[in-house]
Amino acid sequence: MTAPNFGTFFLPGPTEVRPEILAAMTRPMISHRSPEFEALYAHCDEGLRRVFRTTRPVYMSSSSGTGMMEAAIRNAPAGPILSLVNGAFSERFADIARACGRTVQVLEVPYGDVVPLESVETALRARRFAAVTAAHSETSTGAAQDVQAIAELAHANGAFSLIDSVSGMGGMPVETDAWSLDFVLTGSQKALALPPGLAFACVSERFLAAAREAPGRGRYFDIAEFAQYASKRQTPNTPAVSLFYALEAQVTAIGPTGIECRWARHAAMSSLTHAWVEHQRQDGRLAGILAPAGSRSATVTVVRTPVGVDARRVVDEVARRGLTLGSGYGKLAATTFRIGHMGDHTVETVTRLLDVLGPVLAAQ
């Protein structure tokens, strides 16, 4: 599974990509309106349905995850949006809704926390919303929200659930059908361990029906058009064919029964990382994990440095030893660093990182 140099890149996206997945991208170009591409599309869709845990089509866009976030907003029915904000990327979802001309009510908590379900229910009962936006795994803070419960509250109050699982999908349980998620999206460059440039979304039949009537949904991210072309095993626009080759190779590697194993591997990596951070905290070398216990992502851990220790120096010192950590995001840059234990990493590769990181922290 691993090459000798695999296991040096621990950003929480883009993640390290195995050489054999990169090699798949060197296959010759084909027409995106050819039978060959339709077969490629069908293989990718079949594999993604297993990842998303759905019987519905998974739409594939040659864009970043942000593109599918905009698609979620543009295709939602008219009306105000309730945005649950607990970090930079859930805040981005709210900003996209505003940029699309929506009235947005923000329910915000400090970075690292999760929005209490009681607060969500109170807000939904006080006002009629068209949709609720939420981040499943907030990549900037490492906090994980209960999107199943959020979707249930949204539905009980007549709203659609729009879920960003960019750093969750493929590394944490997501049950698109069982949880009745209306719109759930992810990107290629996170737990799926692919190069950046593809985004994926699955929508409920109810959301698709509403999208067909949504005014001002634009063209590039028109979900009704995605559905129309998906029925022909095609994309509405010219796709990044080379990335589809990589996607096919990766979903084939995950296999028909492999997503549960992938979840288990991510859970093991996160447990190892959390226990290591706690040991370092007890020794005074770290201040702990930003997200509270019980609400932590299985794919990214955001670590707080002690007062007086600039987290950016820690990242730089690790880089001098040939490994790449994630810097703290935005206003957290000086006080946190991020460990991306996701994608095709293993307990062994994460252990290698922690063995390097320990002496760096001791030196600080």
Whether 363 has a pLDDT exceeding 90, the answer reads yes
The reply to whether 20-254 shares the fold of 9-14+259-363 is no
The strand pairing partners of 104, in sequence order, are: 81
Does CATH place domain 20-254 in 3.40.1000.10?
A: no
| Confidence check: pLDDT of 288 > 90 | yes
Q: Which of 73, 113, 78, 107 is nearest to 91 (CA)?
A: 107
0.75 cut: is pTM over it?
yes
- Per-residue confidence (pLDDT) for residue 256, from 0 to 100: 86
Residues 174-185 pLDDT 10s? 999 999 999 999
What's the pLDDT tens digit per position in 325-346?
Answer: 999 999 999 999 999 999 999 9
Torsions phi, psi for 138 (to 5 deg): -80, 105
Query: Could you report the per-residue pLDDT of 228-287, keeping only the tens digit for each?
Result: 999 999 999 999 999 999 999 999 999 988 999 999 999 999 999 999 999 999 999 999
pLDDT band at 3 (very low <50, low <70, confident <90, very high): very low
- The confidence score (pLDDT) of residue 4 equals 43
At residue 56, what is the residue type? Answer: R
Q: Judge whether residue 142 has pLDDT over 50.
A: yes
pLDDT at 24 over 60: yes
State the SS3 of 123-151.
HHHHCCCCEEEEECEECCCCEECCHHHHH
Compute the average pLDDT of residues 118-146: 98
Percent of the chain with pLDDT over 70: 99
| Residue range 126-135, pLDDT digits in tens | 999 999 999 9
Domain boundaries, the chain: 9-14+259-363, 20-254
pLDDT at 5: 62
Check residue 226 and give its pLDDT.
98
Whether 197 contacts 21, CB under 8 Å: no
Give mean pLDDT, residues 99-105: 97
- H-assigned helices in the chain: 19-24, 35-52, 65-74, 88-99, 117-126, 147-156, 205-211, 223-230, 241-254, 259-282, 311-320, 347-363
Q: What is the mean pLDDT of residues 317-323?
A: 97
**What's the sign of the alpha-carbon dihedral 156, 157, 158, 164?**
negative
Beta-strand pair 59-61/199-203: antiparallel
**Does the pLDDT value for residue 1 go beyond 70?**
no
Residues 5-15 have pLDDT tens digits of 678 999 999 99
Task: Specify whether domain 9-14+259-363 bears CATH 3.40.50.510.
Answer: no
Average pLDDT, the chain: 96
pLDDT band of residue 364 (cuts 50, 70, 90) is: confident
